[in-house]
C-alpha cells in the first residue's frame, strides 16, 4: 500500500467491519494501484494526457484507474442511506454507485461517494451525518480503486482532453429527430469526425451528426450539410408541441429552438379564424393553427418545403383545413391574400398574417400598401400581422418598429407590440413585431396600387441564407 493510502485509510472499529490494515478494496481487482492523482484533485476524471490531439477516436486510450471514497453500508438500510446521501454519492455515466462487499456480500454493500464532495467523514453535512448515525452506519471511509473508461466520461470531458489547449470546445448541437446538427468553427474542423462520433456515442437515439458548411449550393440558399458521423439519412421525424413532422433536413429549414414561439402565436389563433402563413416552411405555424380549427393558407417558395408541408398536412389529417402554395412571398400576398381578404373583412373574420423570415420579412411589408381598393364596411377586424426580424440595435424593439413603419409608410408604434424571441448571436436578437395592419396602408387608389405591384423585387429570398438560419 502506498504511503498516501496509509495516511488516508482509517481502521474501522465496527464489530462486523474489522479488517487488516493491508487489505484494500478494489472495483477492478486487476487494475494497478492508483496513487497518481490525489483524492481531491480538481480534474480527477480528466483523461490521460496522451489523448491530446487525437483525430481518430481510440476509446481504449481513455482508460485509467482512480481512487474514490466509499462507505460500508448494511444491506437492510441500503436504500435509506442512498436516499439520504443522494448529493454525496458518485454520479458518473455507466458507474455503479453500489458494489458487492468483498467480506460479506449478503450483509453489507459498498456505496461509492463523489470524491469532489467527500474527502473525509467531516465532509458530510450535518443532516447526512445524522442520517448515517441513525442507520448505524460507520462514517469512516473505505477507499476503492475505480477503473474509468471512455464510456464513463461526459462529452465535454472527452472533447476538452482531445482538442488543443486554449481553444474553444463545443459540445452544443441542435437535435432534429435522429440528427444532431452542429456549427463547428475552423479550428475544430480537423477533429470533426471524432467530435461527431463522440456526440453520437453520448446521445442515445442520435444516428447521424452533421456540420453546416459555408457552401451555399442552391437557388434557395440552402447550406450544404457535411456528414461528421453515422448514417447519411437526412429524413427526420420530429414532434413539436404534440404535432408530428417529417422532412429532409438537408433541403428545408427547421429550428427546434423556436417551438415555444410557434406555440405562443398559435395560442392566439381561435377556431374559424383565418391564417395566412407567408413563409410556411414545413408547417410549424400552419399545421397547429389548422388543428385548433383555423382556416389556413400556407405558402413557401422552396419546392421541397412545399412538398413536405403537404405531406405533414396529410400526416396530421388537416389537409382539408390547409391550402398550400408554392409562390414567392410577395406574389402570395398580392395573389391569394388579396383575393381572400375582402370577403373575410366583410364577414368580420379574425385574420392573422404570419411572416417568419427574419432576415428579409420586413422588406415584404410594402406589398400590403394599396393591397385593396374598396374599403370594407367595418374596420373593426383589420388583419393582425406577425412579422419577424433580426436586430443588432441597442433597442431592438424600437428598431424593428421604426423599420417596419418606414417600409409601410405609416407609423405603427401605437398599434403594435414587440416580443423578444431569442438571442441568435452576440448583439443580435430575433424579434416578433405584432401590429394591426392600418387601413391607411391597406386601402389606396388604383394608381398607388399599380406602383406597388411594379416595384422592383429584392434578390431571391429563402430558404437558408446565412441570416435566415434562425427562422421558421
More confident residue, 29 or 343: 343
The secondary structure of 244-304 as a DSSP string is EEEEETTTS---GGGHHHHHHHHTT--TT-EEEETT-TTSTTHHHHHHTT-EEEEE-SSHH
CA distance linking residue 463 with residue 300, whole number of Å: 9
Q: Dump pLDDT digits (tens) for 101-158.
A: 877 678 999 999 999 999 898 999 999 999 999 999 999 999 999 999 999 999 999 9
Q: Dump pLDDT digits (tens) for 239-257.
A: 999 999 999 999 998 999 9
Query: Is 54's pLDDT higher than 80?
Result: yes
The answer to whether 356 is annotated as binding is yes
86-100, 308-322, 323-337: the lowest-pLDDT one: 86-100
Q: What pLDDT does residue 377 have?
A: 60
- CATH value of 253-470 in 3.40.718.10, 3.40.50.150, 3.90.1150.10, 1.20.140.10: 3.40.50.150
Query: Is 40's pLDDT higher than 70?
Result: no
Q: Residues 295-309: what's their mean pLDDT?
A: 97
- Confidence category of residue 223, pLDDT binned at 50, 70, 90: confident
The answer to whether 301 is annotated as binding is yes
Query: Strand locations in 263-415, DSSP E?
Result: 274-277, 295-299, 322-325, 351-355, 384-391
- Confidence category of residue 35, pLDDT binned at 50, 70, 90: very low
> Any residues with CB less than 8 A from the CB of 209 and at least 6 apart, and which?
173, 179, 180, 182, 195, 196, 197, 199, 200, 227, 228, 229, 230
The answer to whether 187 is annotated as binding is no
What does the DSSP 8-state code read for residue 89?
Answer: B
Question: Is 162-233 assigned to CATH 3.30.160.20?
Answer: no
CA distance linking residue 71 with residue 111, whole number of Å: 5
- Confidence category of residue 220, pLDDT binned at 50, 70, 90: low
Same CATH topology for 162-233 and 253-470: the answer is no
Domain range summary for the chain, segments of one domain joined by +: 3-152, 162-233, 253-470
Q: What pLDDT does residue 295 have?
A: 98
pTM score of the predicted model = 0.78
CA distance linking residue 433 with residue 451, whole number of Å: 26
The answer to whether 329 is annotated as binding is yes
Amino acid at each position: 500500500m502506498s504511503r498516501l493510502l496509509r495516511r488516508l485509510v482509517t481502521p474501522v472499529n465496527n464489530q462486523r467491519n474489522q479488517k487488516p490494515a493491508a487489505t484494500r478494496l478494489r472495483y477492478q481487482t486487476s487494475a494497478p494501484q492508483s496513487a497518481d492523482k490525489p483524492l481531491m484533485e480538481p480534474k480527477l476524471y480528466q483523461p490521460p494526457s496522451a489523448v491530446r490531439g487525437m483525430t481518430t477516436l481510440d476509446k481504449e486510450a481513455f482508460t485509467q484507474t482512480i481512487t474514490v471514497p466509499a462507505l460500508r453500508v448494511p444491506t437492510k438500510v441500503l436504500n435509506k442511506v442512498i436516499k439520504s446521501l443522494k448529493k454525496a454519492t458518485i454520479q458518473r455515466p455507466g458507474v455503479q454507485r453500489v458494489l458487492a462487499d468483498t467480506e460479506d456480500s449478503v450483509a453489507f454493500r459498498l456505496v461509492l461517494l463523489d470524491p469532489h464532495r467527500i474527502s473525509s467523514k467531516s465532509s458530510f453535512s450535518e443532516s447526512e451525518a445524522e442520517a448515517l448515525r441513525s442507520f448505524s452506519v460507520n462514517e469512516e471511509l473505505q477507499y476503492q480503486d475505480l477503473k474509468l473508461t471512455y464510456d464513463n466520461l461526459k462529452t465535454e470531458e472527452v472533447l476538452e482532453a482531445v482538442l488543443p489547449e486554449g481553444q474553444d470546445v463545443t459540445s452544443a448541437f441542435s437535435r432534429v429527430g435522429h440528427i444532431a446538427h452542429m456549427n463547428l468553427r475552423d479550428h475544430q474542423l480537423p477533429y470533426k469526425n471524432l467530435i461527431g462520433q463522440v456526440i453520437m456515442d453520448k446521445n442515445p437515439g442520435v444516428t447521424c451528426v452533421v456540420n453546416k458548411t459555408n457552401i451555399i449550393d442552391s437557388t434557395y440558399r440552402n447550406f450544404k450539410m457535411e456528414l461528421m458521423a453515422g448514417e447519411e439519412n437526412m429524413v427526420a421525424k420530429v414532434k413539436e408541441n404534440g404535432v408530428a413532422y417529417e422532412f429532409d433536413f438537408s433541403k428545408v429549414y427547421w429550428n427546434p429552438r423556436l417551438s415555444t414561439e410557434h406555440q405562443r402565436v398559435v395560442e392566439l389563433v381561435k377556431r374559424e379564424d383565418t391564417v395566412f402563413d407567408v413563409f410556411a416552411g414545413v408547417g410549424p405555424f400552419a399545421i397547429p393553427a389548422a388543428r385548433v380549427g383555423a382556416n389556413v393558407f400556407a405558402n413557401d417558395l422552396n419546392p421541397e418545403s412545399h412538398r413536405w408541408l403537404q405531406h405533414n398536412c396529410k400526416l396530421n389529417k388537416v389537409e382539408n383545413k390547409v391550402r398550400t402554395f408554392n409562390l414567392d412571398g410577395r406574389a402570395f400576398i398580392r395573389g391569394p391574400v388579396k383575393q381572400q381578404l375582402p370577403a373575410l373583412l366583410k364577414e368580420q373574420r379574425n385574420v392573422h398574417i404570419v411572416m417568419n423570415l427574419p432576415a428579409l420579412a420586413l422588406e415584404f411589408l410594402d406589398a400590403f400598401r394599396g393591397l385593396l381598393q374598396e374599403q370594407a364596411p367595418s374596420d373593426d377586424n383589420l388583419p393582425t400581422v406577425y412579422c419577424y426580424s433580426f436586430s443588432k440595435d441597442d433597442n431592438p424593439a424600437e428598431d424593428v418598429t421604426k423599420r417596419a413603419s418606414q417600409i409601410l409608410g405609416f407609423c405603427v408604434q401605437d398599434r403594435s407590440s414587440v416580443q423578444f424571441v431569442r438571442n441568435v448571436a452576440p448583439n443580435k436578437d430575433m424579434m416578433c413585431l405584432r401590429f394591426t395592419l392600418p387601413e391607411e396602408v391597406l386601402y389606396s387608389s388604383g394608381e398607388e396600387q399599380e406602383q406597388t405591384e411594379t416595384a422592383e423585387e429584392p434578390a431571391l429570398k429563402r430558404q437558408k441564407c446565412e441570416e435566415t438560419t434562425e427562422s421558421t
